[in-house]
Amino acid sequence: MTPPPQTDIPRSPFTSQTRIRVPRKKTPPEVAVVNEDGCTGCEACIIFCPVDCIDKIMGETPNAPTGIVRIYEPTCIGCKLCVKACPWDAIDMYKTDPATGTAARA
């Protein structure tokens, strides 16, 4: 089942932008997942995502004093542009669980 679009999600603590998430047309074989231990919160990946599914998450970590990012997997189209954009190799592609449309982590 296609998850409903999320609306009114802040893009970043540094902006007031919001977005409307449109359901994707088909489930990709892989979706992107941020390695939270490797993410520095630089936000380089955010501008490259064509479907705007990467959010900045508030909260300090040892590597990310301004917070890390997280990917909204149900709308990720698996294009890997964020993987190429990340200067810290902190984004991995996971096989998609067809039942949920999100990363198969098991």
Residues that bind ligand SF4 (CB under 6 A): 32, 34, 39-45, 48-49, 51, 53-54, 69, 71, 76-82, 85-86, 88, 90-91
* CB of 4 or CB of 87, closer to ligand SF4: 87
Cβ neighbours, 10 Å, residue 66 = 16
For residue 81, the minimal CB distance to ligand SF4 (Å) is 4
* CB of 18 or CB of 55, closer to ligand SF4: 55
For residue 95, the minimal CB distance to ligand SF4 (Å) is 13
* CB of 21 or CB of 80, closer to ligand SF4: 80
